[in-house]
Structure formats: structure tokens, C-alpha cells
A and B are shown apart, each in its own frame.
Chain A
Amino acid sequence: MAVHMRVRRAFRTVIAIMIVGVLLFPLYWMVNASLQPSSALLETPPRWFPVGGTLDGYRQALQSQGRPLINSMVIAAGTVLLTLVLSVPAAYALSRFRLPGAGALLFALLLVQMIPGIVMANSLYAVMNQAGILGTHAALILADSTLAVPFAVLILRAFMVTVPAELGEAAMVDGAGQARILWSVILPVSRNAVITAGLFGFLFAWADFLFAVTLNSDDRIMPVTVGIYRFIGAHTANWNGVMATGVIASIPAAILIIAAQRYVAAGVTGGALKD
């Protein structure tokens, strides 16, 4: 019986590996292409493995996309900062105080996430043009924050309501003000939620293409998503360099999977224990 069970489980693992293999094949194919010389990519049949590969693609990617990669980094980091500064106090207030209109505010945060990005881009273009900030990092940071802020407030609040009220009350008895309670008591406890919100904010901004391509007429602040887009247009034959850029642009996502895995898991069990 036990052996039979183990065989069945092993069999399921094999099937699961096959499923993952099929679904992740496009990603493998990207890595494979990024490691092959351009000429090898134009062979029939295709080379299935990057044997005798080259790092030329990566050299090209860093050469032509170095600046866009740095831009993406700056924009994503700025977005995270702005998002947390705005959402942490808001989430705290929404989780702790009885405020008039709190329900309406939560509803608004939920609803604005459904506004199509193209509508935001269209109107933000006009607004930012008026403000004279089109083509700056700040414009993209502000625009990308619209993707991250509603999400961050809601996820932080969802976590903070699970923090026992007594924690704050104890501090209040000791004479701490609300700002102090948030900073010294609630924030340390909510660390995982803050990290999760920050990581996703980073990823939203890093992956943004729509705002980057619409609110940006200046190549000097072009992020890597637009860089790749232009790269395909300019060098359709140079798949090796394009794919290497794609792999580099995927690194934050890969890191997130590893990092968030940990924090997200901690959040799940933490929340479960408190319920």
C-alpha cells in the first residue's frame, strides 16, 4: 500500500514536471536564444540547446540597453518610495480609525484599478503636458504610482487589520502619538506586508510599457521595456541581443518569485495564526 502510494505520487511529480516544462517552454526558448550566436538562430532545424553558446547577446544588451536599464531602476525605485510614503499612513488610518467616508475611499481604491491604462495615459499626457513635466523621470514615477498605490493601500490595510489593537493601545498608554505608534509598533510588525507591497510596486513600474511609451518623448529617460520594443523594430534579425535584453529585464521578476516566496509565505502563516 505504502509503496503503491509512493509510486503514484512520484508519477504525479513526473506529470507536473512535464506540465511546467510545456508552460515554461517560451521562457526556456528565450534563454536558449539569448545564448546563441545570431547566425545559429537562423538555422533549420533550430538548435535546441545553447551548446557552444556565446555571451555576445548580453554584451550587446548591456551596451545598447545599459541606460534604459538604469532608467528602469530609477523609475521603479522612485515608484516604490512614493507608493510607500503615500500608502502606509493611509492603510494605517483605514485599519485603525473610524473615519467618515472610509468605506467610500476603499471603494474608490478598488474601482480606480479597473480604469483602463490607455485612458489614464491619454489624460495624464494632457495633464503632464500642462504641468511641463513630460519626458522626465518624475512623470513616469507619478504615472507608475497610479498602478501601485491603490494596490498597496489595500494589501497593507488587509494586513494591518489583523494586527491586534492592544499593541497600539499599550503604546498609547505609554504616551506615544499615532505617528509614533505607526512608526515604532505597527510598521515593524507589518514588515512583510510592506516588503510585499514594495516589491510589487517595483515590478509594476519595472514592467510598465504603456506609460513609458506614451508619456515619453525623450530617449534619455526611456526605460528598458521601451528599449526592447524599439530594439525589435530596429534589429529584427538580431534575436540574440533582443532575447538577452529580455532575460535581463526578467531578473526582477525572478528575484520577486524567490523573495516574495519567503515573505508571502510568512504573511500567510502569520495571518493564519492570528485568526
Chain B
Amino acid sequence: MVARIGFVAPIVVYLVLFFGYPLVSNITMAMREFTAASFYTGEAPFVGFENYAAVIGDPVFGTALLNTAVFTIASLAFQFAIGLGLAVFFQRYFPLNGVLRSLLLLPWLLPLVVSGTVWRWIYDQEYGVLNQVLLGAGVIDTAMPWLSSTSMALTAVTVANIWVGIPFNMVILYGGLQGIPAQLYEAAALDGAGPWKRFSAVTWPLLRPVSAVVLMLGLVYTLKVFDVIMVLTQGGPANATQTLTTWSYSLSFQDLDFGAGAATGNMLILLALVFAVFYLRSTRQSAGAAAREAPRRRVPRLPRGRSATGGARASVAAAGEPSATEQERS
């Protein structure tokens, strides 16, 4: 028994040191006036909930919260819809299917800084290809300041993020579709169901558990998107693309007000936690279906998820989890 514990002891110590301790220190930090000087003097007076009050009272807070909501909801909706469309399309057999499908994963594996940089070049006001094409086609008659206009920047950033997240949605949903027994489609076809009817009566209901997993994971991961926004706009112009994540960064590492940054971060955790709980409950409820069907076998071994940074990581865990426990029990 002692020897057996020796195998897991390092990971437990690791979790406590590298997740537990930082999390606790983040909570206490948020209750102190913690500035750059605190690192040298060690003095950080206790201020209770003042940091939270200051953060919530800041006019940027409302903007950041709204931006986070718009960015997250729009990203999820489009990533999911496009991902599902592609998954359905690639369900059917045709030559080169596998090669093309794996090529589609490329945007998802690139460092986000690289993707962000490419989009910044595409959006460039003077020389970017987007403006050049739109001008050439006569859609617009002056070059658009995609990233430097307060009214367009959030949309531009969201579009780039949608592009990053499509492969993740496609892969997981494709796995889900593969898990739907072909007999159901044959039976539906025999009953005279057309393509749309087959989708709405067979695909959609049976895909629901997997859809829930994708959406919840996407949500948790989109909340913490950082790289794409930093490279494209750094939260600007005039906070037009500031989200809770980027704002927390700028409070801590630019204003050097670590207490306020920690407070914002803790609120972000709370948000993520609320959705995580929803997610875990929805997977538990549909554990039977979800685990027996698609994700069990396919998701765990497919190249990684990264709606923003690391999507399928948790889905691997989540989806692999119930099936594994089932096996142990049986």
C-alpha cells in the first residue's frame, strides 16, 4: 500500500503546490493592497473587499463584462454552427476525406500568437488583404480601420477567435456523429425521411450530449482567451476589446495593482466555476449516452482541443472519465 501511494504522492504534492497554493494566494492577495512594492517590502495591508469594490466600481468593469459576454456568446454560436456543418459534411464518404479533415486541424494547433499575428496582417488598414479585396470588389469605398475603430474591433477580434475554434468543434462533433448507429439513418430513410428530417429526428437529438460537452468546454475556454486579443488589439482601442481576462492582466502586470488583478481573476474563476458545474452536471446526466457513444473512443485520442487554449484536454478527461469508471466496475 505504501509503495502504491508512492506512485501518486508526487502528483498530489504537485497539485497542492502548483494549483492549491497559487489559488489560495490569489484569494488572499485579492484582499490586500498588493502592489509592486509589496514584492520587495513584503508589506501588503489587509483591505478586505475593497479591491472587489474598486474593480466593480470601475467603469471599465461594465465594458469588460459586456465584451466578455458578447465575445463568448458570438464565438460559441458561430464555432458550433460552422463546426457542426463541417462535421456533417465530412461524415459522408469521398476521396481525400481523411487528409482534408486533418488539414483543417492546423489552425487549431498553431500557437495562438502566430494566428493572432496573421489576422493582424490580414486586418491591416492600409495593406491588409481584407481591405484590399473589399475595396477591389467595391463593397467598401474607404479602407476600414478594423482593429483601431471602437465600433469594429470587437467583431474583428471575435471573427479571428471563431476561426481558431472551428476545428475543435468540428472534431468533437464529428466524433459524436460517428457514434450514431448507421441503422438509425437507414431506418429513417426507409420510413421516407429526407435529409433534413433525418438530421432533425436522428442526428440532432442523438448529438445533444456531445453538443452540450462542446458548448460548455467552449464556454469555459473562451472566457479565458488572452493571446488572440493581446496580439490583435491589447484590449483597445479605448477598452473596446477589453475582456475580464485581458483587464485582469493589465491591472496586475501593467498597472502593477496585483490586488485588483487578483480580484478580477477570482471573479473570472467564479464565472468559469458556475459553468463548470453546469457542464459536469450535464455530462453526468448524459453520461450514459455520451460515454457509450462517440467521445469515449474517439475524443480521447484525437489531436487536442483548444477552443482557445486547450479545449479537448478537459473533454478528453470528461469523456474518457465515465467510460473508464464503467470499465473498472464491470
Q: Tell me how many residues of A have a C-beta within 8 Å of chain B.
A: 105
B26–A123 CB distance below 8 A = yes
| Assembly CA distance A246 to B7 (angstroms) | 40
Sort A-B residue pairs by CB-CB distance and give the 4 closest, nearest first: A123-B22, A93-B7, A207-B111, A158-B320
| Assembly CA distance A87 to B14 (angstroms) | 10
B301–A268 CB distance below 8 A = yes
A residues 194-251 touching B (CB-CB < 8 Å): 196, 200, 203-204, 206-207, 209-210, 213-214, 225, 228-229, 232, 239, 242-243, 246, 249-250
A33 close to chain B: CB less than 8 A = yes
Chain B residue at minimum C-beta to C-beta distance from A48: B129
B118–A246 CB distance below 8 A = yes
A114–B220 CB distance below 8 A = yes
| Assembly CA distance A10 to B96 (angstroms) | 10
Binds A, one of B49-57, B187-195, B258-266: B258-266
B8–A90 CB distance below 8 A = yes
Please report the number of residue pairs spanning A and B whose Cβ atoms sit closer than 8 angstroms: 312
Using known A-B contacts A127-B22, A243-B121, determine if residue A111 contacts B276 with beta carbons closer than 8 Å: yes
Contacts of B313 in A (CB 8 A): 113, 150-151, 154, 200
Binding site for B on A (CB under 8 A): 9-10, 12-13, 15-17, 19-20, 23-24, 26-27, 29-30, 33, 41-42, 44-46, 86-87, 89-90, 92-94, 97, 99, 102, 105-106, 108-127, 129, 142, 145-147, 149-151, 153-155, 157-159, 161-162, 177-179, 182, 196, 200, 203-204, 206-207, 209-210, 213-214, 225, 228-229, 232, 239, 242-243, 246, 249-250, 253-254, 256-257, 260-261, 264, 267-268, 271-272, 275
Chain A residue at minimum C-beta to C-beta distance from B273: A114
Contacts of B6 in A (CB 8 A): 89
18 example contacts (A-B, Cβ-Cβ < 8 A) are as follows A13-B94, A15-B89, A20-B103, A108-B19, A109-B15, A112-B19, A119-B22, A119-B262, A120-B22, A122-B26, A123-B21, A146-B19, A147-B309, A225-B111, A239-B124, A250-B114, A257-B105, A257-B303
Chain A nearest CB, measured from B306 CB (Å): 9
B252 close to chain A: CB less than 8 A = yes
B residues 86-122 touching A (CB-CB < 8 Å): 86, 89-90, 92-97, 100, 102-107, 109-115, 117-122
Binds A, one of B59-67, B73-81, B206-214, B321-329: B321-329
B132 close to chain A: CB less than 8 A = yes
Contacts of B103 in A (CB 8 A): 20, 24
Q: Mask for B16-56, Cβ within 8 A of A = 1, else 0?
A: 00110111011001000010000100000000000000000
Chain A nearest CB, measured from B213 CB (Å): 12
Q: Mask for B258-281, Cβ within 8 A of A = 1, else 0?
A: 100110011011001100100000
B100–A113 CB distance below 8 A = no
| Assembly CA distance A23 to B266 (angstroms) | 36
| Assembly CA distance A19 to B257 (angstroms) | 46
A20–B100 CB distance below 8 A = yes
Contacts of A151 in B (CB 8 A): 304, 310, 313, 316-317
Contacts of A261 in B (CB 8 A): 102, 303
| Assembly CA distance A110 to B269 (angstroms) | 14
Chain B residue at minimum C-beta to C-beta distance from A239: B121
Inter-chain pairs besides A9-B93, A15-B89, A46-B129, 9 sampled, C-beta below 8 Å:
A13-B94, A26-B118, A105-B8, A110-B318, A113-B317, A123-B262, A125-B258, A149-B14, A178-B7
Chain B residue at minimum C-beta to C-beta distance from A266: B301
A229–B113 CB distance below 8 A = yes
Main SS at interface, chain B: helix
Which of B109, B111, B273 lies in contact with A209, CB distance below 8 A? Answer: B111
Contacts of B129 in A (CB 8 A): 29, 46
B112–A207 CB distance below 8 A = yes
Using known A-B contacts A29-B122, A46-B132, A126-B25, determine if residue A161 contacts B328 with beta carbons closer than 8 Å: yes
Chain A residue at minimum C-beta to C-beta distance from B160: A26
A253–B230 CB distance below 8 A = no
B304–A203 CB distance below 8 A = yes
Chain B residue at minimum C-beta to C-beta distance from A263: B301
A203–B109 CB distance below 8 A = yes
Chain A residue at minimum C-beta to C-beta distance from B301: A267
| Assembly CA distance A153 to B258 (angstroms) | 32
Contacts of B104 in A (CB 8 A): 19-20, 23-24
| Assembly CA distance A149 to B245 (angstroms) | 23
Contacts of B115 in A (CB 8 A): 26
Binds A, one of B149-157, B196-204, B221-229: B221-229
